[in-house]
Amino acid sequence: MQTIRVETPSAKYDVIAGSGLVDTLAPRIERVVGRLPQRVFVLTSAPIWALWGHSFQQSFPDAPIVLFLEPGEKHKTLASVDRLLREMAKAGGDRGSLLIAFGGGIVGDVGGFLAAIYMRGISYLQVPTTFLAQVDSSVGGKTGVNLAEGKNLVGSFHHPLAVFADIGALGTLPDRELHAGLMESVKAGIIRDRALVRFMEEHVDEVLGRDAKALEKVIAASIRMKAAVVNKDERENGLRMILNLGHTVGHALEQATQYKLLLHGEAVGWGMVAALWLARKRGTISGSQFERLENLIHLYGPLPPLKLRAAKIVAATGSDKKNVGGVKRFVLPVGIGDAGVVEDVMPAELEAAVEYMLAGAKEKQS
């Protein structure tokens, strides 16, 4: 079990990563909030509840009120939020109520947003059940939903009172989801943690075989990296930008494939390949570092093949909402364990990086 502290100007809380958390939640929550409030809501989705609901309920003296969000990005909407807020009101939710988001990143983002706006804000906890949610989305306080016009366009910063990341809950996660989530850990290592890069290189079989100790190590290191960055820059004014390594091209790939072909982590994996290529070309990483890091990405693959044109992907990066003032901001690794942001990446240079990535993505097919 490892405890990682998040301390920002607006919130201080612990992220606990380890085994055996889901079935011992109630006493752990009481240690954080004092007595459990009269109404405890759980937001989850039916498949997760079918697998883990029984364990979840075990430690609660009174059954929590369960709210369901249908799985899938297309339900991460204001319409779902409206329905769920009304269900909370009908069930007598008040300002003292507590909400627990129990699921992947979608449940976490919607749950956090409900907690941010119900009666102008109630307390909540994150109990993430996907690898991605454990290492990334449950930490940092970003909550929200999608609009038809784009992903995550509506939301709020609202930090949980605590995060309980139960490694045991990953036991039922499909392989593809695990591999995709691991790309965020590869990213964490590349931008901030050489030791994590080495550990992931040396323990591929244990990590992919879901050995609890190896997973705990990777998850805790990834959370520690994110917490350290968020502690310094809660609102993404500067340093937090580096968390976007691989995400400029990654988001473009997701968009160009209508969010259907690739999981987020897979798109980020390919996006990191493009970023590594640019970094090597600009000399912020050496040829051997490039090979080592590209290899690491593929060790945790396979990344799906891509049949796209480079120009289309480059065009799609233009609509990345993280581009400030039309400048293409781009995160590049600096050696192994550091990264920086550059603002002068020209479309032709980016296109060459994307061509390199696509050539690799084609090879995968044959």
Nearest to 111 by CA among 134, 132, 141, 90: 141
Candidate segments 57-65, 99-107, 302-310, 319-327, binder of ligand NAD by CB under 6 A: 99-107
No. of helices (H) and no. of strands (E), the chain: 14, 11
Q: Is 223 exposed, middle or buried (0-12, 13-18, 19+ CB in 10 A)?
A: buried
Q: Does 109 bind ligand NAD (CB under 6 A)?
A: yes
* Residue 231: active-site member: no
Residue number with CB closer to ligand NAD (181 or 333): 181
Q: Does 45 bind ligand NAD (CB under 6 A)?
A: yes
3-state secondary structure of 78: helix
For residue 309, give both structure tokens: 């044109």
Min separation Cβ 349 and ligand NAD, Å: 27
Q: Which of 169, 188, 223, 262 binds ligand NAD (CB under 6 A)?
A: 169
Min separation Cβ 43 and ligand NAD, Å: 11
3-state secondary structure of 355: helix
Handedness of CA 235, 183, 198, 170 (dihedral sign): positive
Query: What's the CA gap between 332 and 281, in Å, rounded?
Result: 11
Query: What count of Cα atoms within 13 Å lies in the side-chain half-sphere of residue 76?
Result: 24
For residue 79, give both structure tokens: 């319409």
- Considering the candidates 146, 158, 179, 184, report the single residue annotated as catalytic: 184
Min separation Cβ 22 and ligand NAD, Å: 9
Min separation Cβ 108 and ligand NAD, Å: 7
- Considering the candidates 39, 158, 192, 264, report the single residue annotated as catalytic: 264
- Considering the candidates 76, 187, 251, 328, report the single residue annotated as catalytic: 251
- 97 in Cβ contact with 64 (< 8 Å): no
Interface positions with ligand NAD (CB under 6 A)? 45, 47-48, 51, 71, 73, 76, 103-107, 109, 129-130, 132-133, 136-137, 140, 142, 152, 169-170, 172-173, 177, 264
- Which amino acids are annotated catalytic? 120, 142, 184, 226, 236, 240, 244, 247, 251, 264
